[in-house]
């Protein structure tokens, strides 16, 4: 049994757009700058927020989701972190009670107090009513205090503090400030690697929070869980080339950890900048923003040639979402410009100008159930017949999974630890048969 004790809170909000991502990052940097070891986690499937949280905390960030990662893994990762951290912050997703399982469900499961961030712009005494509603909605959820964001003046902050109902306090009131804003684009926040002044901004944001009285630590909690069994060494001796740069960048740390724990050796490369592949037995092309870098991808003829040769030699390739878009014949970007891609899968990936798919899904196979999600703004036009389809939690069919020679490609992002045997089969090029299982409710 793993057991740890530290200060901890789940940072949440009444809904998206309230500022919880930047507040979480600023809190992490504030306490890190004070000499504390801070661990940040993210509820649910998200690649972009964790990039910023890793820069803010200086520590790796992992996903927690009772359905996608599993309840046991949620408890284990938190307990393991509590053994060494002074502070654990879990950034919620959407609103506190949104989704199934929601951020509130995770807080209840793990025994964490929730700390809502409420955008107070245009709000006075109603702020207290919103805080009271969040605190009283679920009897098993603990909320002792809240944070006001985007206040207009010190007087506004006092008005909000005076509106708090009995049993709740205002931890702090954050003024509107340029340091508290990070640019975003269609898939979420801009990648941390693209923000040249991010460290300086995080330090400035930490000072904003300190001046607002947010340097006090949240409640101390005890977290415990059973240690997981090590995964089977199904990838012993397999060397996997992993694409990683600004175009292909969406990588769960837990996925990388699992591959190595199963015996794989990882070799990273850049489809944008490198002119050859590392020596490898298999390739992984994760998601990312190929549409923003399509011209550079198309211009890198040596890399296209190397990946095509890998495919022609019958070596496995797994392509997820942005990786799938890089594998088609043509990618049409948001400006309507067409770019030549790898041509391993017939057809065209075309930016749609709007969200085309979103949600938790799973791929049921004869070797297990791989859980994950989908989120994209493009459409695939192809004559290829899918090998099978993922399913939504309710059981209806969702994303197509294609198999073209040694290539397996889909818009679906898999969470590898949910099905190690499926993952091993993909990277070893072994047969994998989708089944019609309808899945379990979360």
CA dihedral of residues 98, 102, 107, 113 (deg, nearest 10)? 0
User: Does 260 lie in the same domain as 188?
Assistant: no
**Domain end residue (candidates: 183, 201, 225):** 225
Look at residue 192 in the predicted model and tell me its pLDDT. Answer: 60
Look at residue 89 in the predicted model and tell me its pLDDT. Answer: 98
74 is catalytic: no
Our count of domains for the chain comes to: 2
Q: 6, 74, 280, 321: which is the annotated catalytic residue?
A: 321
Tens of pLDDT, residue by residue over 263-318, are 999 999 999 999 999 999 999 999 999 999 999 999 999 999 999 999 999 999 99
User: Does 122 lie in the same domain as 147?
Assistant: yes
User: Does 266 lie in the same domain as 147?
Assistant: no
User: Does 260 lie in the same domain as 182?
Assistant: no
- The mean pLDDT of 119-146, rounded to a whole number, is 97
**pLDDT-derived band at 96, boundaries 50, 70, 90:** very high
**Domain end residue (candidates: 225, 251, 272):** 225
Percent of the chain's residues with pLDDT above 70: 95
User: Does 85 lie in the same domain as 209?
Assistant: yes
User: Does 264 lie in the same domain as 166?
Assistant: no
Q: Is residue 377 part of a domain?
A: yes
Look at residue 442 in the predicted model and tell me its pLDDT. Answer: 37
Q: What CATH number is given to the structural domain containing 209?
A: 3.40.50.300
User: Does 53 lie in the same domain as 119?
Assistant: yes
Q: Is residue 169 part of a domain?
A: yes
Tens of pLDDT, residue by residue over 216-239, are 999 999 999 999 999 999 999 999
User: Does 70 lie in the same domain as 21?
Assistant: yes
- The mean pLDDT of 84-102, rounded to a whole number, is 97
Q: Distance (Å, rounded) from C-alpha 73 to C-alpha 64? A: 8
**Quick check: 440 pLDDT over 80?**
no
Q: Is residue 215 part of a domain?
A: yes
Tens of pLDDT, residue by residue over 356-391, are 888 999 999 999 999 999 999 999 999 999 999 999
Run of H or E residues at 149: strand 145-151
Query: Helix, strand, or coil here: 146?
Result: strand
Q: Is residue 363 part of a domain?
A: yes
Look at residue 393 in the predicted model and tell me its pLDDT. Answer: 85
User: Does 212 lie in the same domain as 124?
Assistant: yes
Tens of pLDDT, residue by residue over 327-349, are 999 999 999 999 999 999 999 99
Q: Distance (Å, rounded) from C-alpha 214 to C-alpha 44? A: 26
Host domain of residue 314: 239-428
User: Does 191 lie in the same domain as 255?
Assistant: no
Q: Is residue 231 part of a domain?
A: no
Tens of pLDDT, residue by residue over 52-68, are 999 999 999 999 999 99
Q: What CATH number is given to the structural domain containing 309?
A: 3.40.50.880
In this structure, are residues 310 and 277 in contact, taking their beta carbons and an 8 Å threshold? yes
**Quick check: 402 pLDDT over 80?**
yes
User: Does 201 lie in the same domain as 243?
Assistant: no
User: Does 246 lie in the same domain as 217?
Assistant: no
Q: Is residue 230 part of a domain?
A: no
- The mean pLDDT of 153-160, rounded to a whole number, is 96
Q: Is residue 433 part of a domain?
A: no
**Domain end residue (candidates: 193, 225, 257):** 225
Q: Is residue 232 part of a domain?
A: no
Its pTM stands at 0.94
Tens of pLDDT, residue by residue over 411-433, are 999 999 999 999 999 999 999 99
Look at residue 345 in the predicted model and tell me its pLDDT. Answer: 98
**Quick check: 42 pLDDT over 60?**
yes
Tens of pLDDT, residue by residue over 175-206, are 999 999 876 645 555 666 666 689 999 999 99
């Amino acid at each position: 049994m793993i057991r740890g004790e530290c200060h901890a809170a789940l940072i949440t909000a009444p809904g998206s757009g309230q500022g919880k991502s930047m507040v979480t990052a600023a809190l992490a940097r504030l306490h890190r700058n004070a000499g504390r070891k801070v661990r940040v986690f993210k509820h649910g499937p998200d690649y972009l927020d964790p990039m910023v949280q890793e820069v803010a905390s200086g520590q790796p960030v992992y996903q927690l989701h009772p359905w996608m990662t599993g309840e046991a893994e949620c408890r284990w990762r938190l307990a393991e972190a509590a053994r060494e951290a002074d502070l654990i912050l879990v950034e919620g997703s959407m609103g506190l009670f949104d989704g199934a399982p929601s951020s509130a469900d995770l807080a209840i499961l793990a025994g964490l107090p929730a700390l809502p961030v409420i955008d107070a712009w245009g709000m006075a005494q109603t702020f207290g009513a919103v805080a009271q509603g969040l605190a009283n909605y679920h009897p098993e959820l603990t909320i002792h205090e809240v944070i006001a964001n985007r206040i207009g003046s010190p007087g506004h902050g006092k008005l909000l503090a005076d509106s708090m109902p009995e049993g709740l306090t205002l931890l702090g009131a954050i003024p509107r400030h340029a340091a508290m804003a990070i640019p975003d684009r269609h898939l979420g926040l801009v990648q941390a690697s693209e923000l040249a002044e991010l460290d300086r901004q995080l330090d400035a944001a930490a000072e904003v929070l300190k001046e607002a009285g947010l340097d006090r630590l949240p409640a101390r909690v005890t977290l415990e869980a059973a240690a997981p069994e090590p995964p089977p060494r199904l990838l012993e001796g397999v060397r996997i080339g992993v694409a990683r740069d600004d175009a292909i960048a969406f990588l769960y740390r837990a996925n990388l950890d699992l591959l190595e724990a199963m015996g794989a050796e990882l070799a990273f490369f850049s489809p944008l900048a490198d002119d050859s592949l590392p020596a490898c037995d298999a390739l992984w092309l994760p998601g990312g923003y190929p549409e923003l870098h399509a011209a550079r991808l198309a211009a890198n003829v040596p890399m296209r040639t190397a990946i095509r040769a890998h495919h022609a030699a019958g070596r496995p390739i797994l392509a997820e979402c942005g990786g799938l878009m890089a594998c088609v014949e043509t990618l049409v970007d948001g400006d309507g410009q067409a770019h030549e891609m790898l041509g391993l899968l017939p057809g065209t990936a075309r930016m749609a100008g709007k969200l085309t798919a979103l949600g938790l899904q799973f791929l049921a196979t004869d070797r297990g159930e791989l859980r994950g999600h989908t989120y994209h703004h493009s459409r695939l036009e192809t004559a290829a017949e899918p090998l099978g389809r993922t399913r939504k939690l309710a059981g209806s069919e969702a994303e197509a999974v294609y198999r073209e020679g040694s290539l397996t490609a889909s818009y679906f992002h898999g969470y590898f630890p949910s099905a190690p045997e499926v993952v091993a089969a993909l990277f070893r090029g072994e047969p994998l048969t989708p089944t019609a299982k309808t899945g379990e409710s979360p």
